[in-house]
Structure 1
Amino acid sequence: MLVERKVKVVTEQNVIDKPPVDQFPMREWSLKVFMVDEDGNERPADVFTKVVYNLHPTFENPVQSYTKHPFTCKNEGWGEFEISIDCYTTEKTKLAPIIHDLNFHQTKYEQTHTVVFKNPSQSLQERLRETGPLPTDDDHRPKKKGIATKKSAQKYDYEKIAESLEKLEEEDLLRVIQIINENKGPDTYIRSDVEVDDLVKAGEFSIDLYTMPDSLTSKLWDHLSKKGLVS
């Protein structure tokens, strides 16, 4: 699954009272990273666990990493340059670099970039839904109103289920796949890398939790509860 989203980089800069370099005034500048939802609203970039800014190599610390939203990168300097920004969704998984133009034409400006999330995990899918639907939602899930109704009335915490599935060892995961295989409904949306009836033989796969029938959700919750992963 490929999911497109908008990421906004906000730059602020101002001249500071320090000696100029080659007649260029010294400046303090900062960068912040936000998500943009489908309505154009600024949202926290909590889909990222870490943001790394690759600055000009002349900086004393040219690679700067931040793990707390809005991932503020603040420095002093006199020159304009392009910054490569790496946004991580896990410790090792990152998106294609965002190339941001640092310039001093305005004291504050914003640049919006389109990024692509490849095969996001279940928990990441839930966070991505906060800024817009996923590609599978229109065809395989109720519209927004329906989703909101189900969420408000749901007995089980789907986000906890998603997070728990990522923690399972291979043997337990195979048991979960078996439970899904035996109890899936006609509207259950599953994406796998092999088209087979038996999900145990399907290789990597993802399931849209909100399309599971109540009976499957109940069995899955009970199984994860016995493992101490949900409560």
Structure 2
Amino acid sequence: MPDVKRTIKIVTESRISDPNSGIEGFPLRQWSVEIHLLNDHGEPVPASVFPKSKHIITFKNPKPPLLAQLRESGPVPGDENGVKKRSQEESKKKKRVDKNVDMDKLADGLQKLGEDDLLQVVQMVHDNKSSDSYTKNDIEQGEFHVDLYTLPDALIRMLWDFTQEKGVL
């Protein structure tokens, strides 16, 4: 039996139900969520095929205030023996990268590449990134963001060799 794929539209609406929640800047909100299936013309149809549904939401590279709130609902990866200090985490990231790669030079070199070379870099990153890698492709702005420190060592080495080959380092 072949897979059947459908597009689902989730409509959320929130409103402030009580401005005095006890935490300044965080009023209590009331949410409503509607789930619709979209037909082949993009029109919403009732999604009665979902009697109940459970979804896991993944937060990619959450900021410290969000991490603090997420800790209230359970452990956060990377908090084995309590909360890590940011400087300790950053120094660990820098240590794991091959000693022959200067990350600052690599970042500067990538910015100096031509358009065709940058397309190759984006393709290399997409093909070789890990699940921990942070990338953001902003098509509307024509921008591609990547955190070099989250890329696997082998990919960092590939990018270093590529930028050296292009003569921008």
TM-score using structure 1 length: 0.34
Higher RCO (CA-CA < 8 Å; seq separation 6+): 1
Structure with bigger strand share is: 1
TM-score using structure 2 length: 0.45
Structure with bigger helix share is: 2
